[in-house]
Amino acid sequence: MSEHKQLSNIKLSVLDLSPIVKGGTVSDSFKNTLELAQYAEKWGYHRYWMAEHHNMPFIGSSATSVLIGHVAGGTSKIRVGSGGIMLPNHPPLVIAEQFGTLETLYPGRIDLGLGRAPGTDQLTAQALRRHTGSDGNDFPQLLEELRSYFEPLSEGSGKRVRAIPGQGLNIPIWLLGSSGFSAQLAGQLGLPFAFASHFSPENTIPALDLYRRSFQPSDVLDEPYAMVGLNVVAAESDEEAEYLGTTLQLQFLNLIRNTELPLQPPVENIDNICTEYEKTLLERQLGSSIFGGATTVKQKMQKFLDETQADEIMVNAQIYDHEKRLRSFEIVSDIVKN
């Protein structure tokens, strides 16, 4: 693939799961989220997204729309949105009203990223949806219904159910994916696409290729626009970053083991606490993750950009220590600026 995109020329954004850390409270997590968003705005990040997950003791962003309002209210120009709202969990009208409200409060700053997975386990999905009929296959219909609520009311349309607020508002809709389904749908509808390379690296290139091949120009986009999620842990040295990065590895190790814990402090050697099989699984899920000092991170982020030809990179950093987490995002912003 051609190497014509430079890090300094692409937009950089933040994905925040509002991590709940061992020894911390959810209140601490929300304060940290707002502080990170304010710094991200100062450091020149383009957008700040939060993700809907449920019944996970290390993620505080379950009421995603509420947290988006909190962050947008505490910042002034950075775009704020969902990465994503899991549409099958909600009636489309409710999401249209929520994001219509957000866009009315913070005009021109709200993004609506949508996923088709439940963002949780099956039992919790049942508690959210009150039924188990949706396996994500009805996502295109739900999306069509949601988009219809944002359309201006035309005379004689006879539309009885309206999103107020929401109707007539231009809120950018993104499709999120970790496989090919949403990639193809985003392409066919001419919508921007965000791929979750931060936990599904093996599917990144095939999904982006499918999106670009499927793309049909629309009222929204003339050409494809792909953003890719990427775990980046940056620190003063490669050794420190590798150490801080064990928190992310522990998070996924606990998911593999079905162990429910808040975000854990880093450990000296992850290899001492996982089996060869678990190491293989970690590599599969975290294979694109970048841990390092500034020089290493810059080199590896450029290589990732060469491979993906992404239009935008959304950085995720599950780091236990909040000050170290802030510093990681600052280092990454400096790398891209210089």
As beta bridge partners, residue 115 has 86
Residue 130, pLDDT > 90, answer: no
More confident residue, 15 or 126: 15
- Render pLDDT for 166-219 as a digit per residue (tens, 0 to 9): 999 999 999 999 888 999 999 999 999 999 999 889 999 999 999 999 999 999
Q: Residue 156's pLDDT is what?
A: 61
pLDDT over 70 percentage in the chain: 93
Phi, psi for 305 (deg, rounded to 5) = -65, -40
Question: pLDDT band at 125, cuts 50/70/90?
Answer: low
- Render pLDDT for 236-257 as a digit per residue (tens, 0 to 9): 999 999 999 999 999 999 999 9
Which candidate, 277, 182, 193, 275, places its Cα nearest to that of 229? 193
Q: Which CATH class, in words, describes the domain spanning 7-236+294-337?
A: alpha beta
Residue 154, pLDDT > 80, answer: no
Name which of 152-156, 278-282, 285-289 the model is least confident about: 152-156
- Render pLDDT for 302-317 as a digit per residue (tens, 0 to 9): 999 999 999 999 999 9
d(CA 74, CA 304): 32
Question: pLDDT band at 135, cuts 50/70/90?
Answer: low
Residue 41, pLDDT > 90, answer: yes
Output b/e per residue, 96-122; b: 16+ Cβ within 10 A: bbbbbbbbeebeebbbbbbbbbbbbee
Question: pLDDT band at 318, cuts 50/70/90?
Answer: very high
Q: Residue 133's pLDDT is what?
A: 53
Task: Specify whether the CB–CB gap between 253 and 282 falls below 8 A.
Answer: yes
Q: Residue 1's pLDDT is what?
A: 43
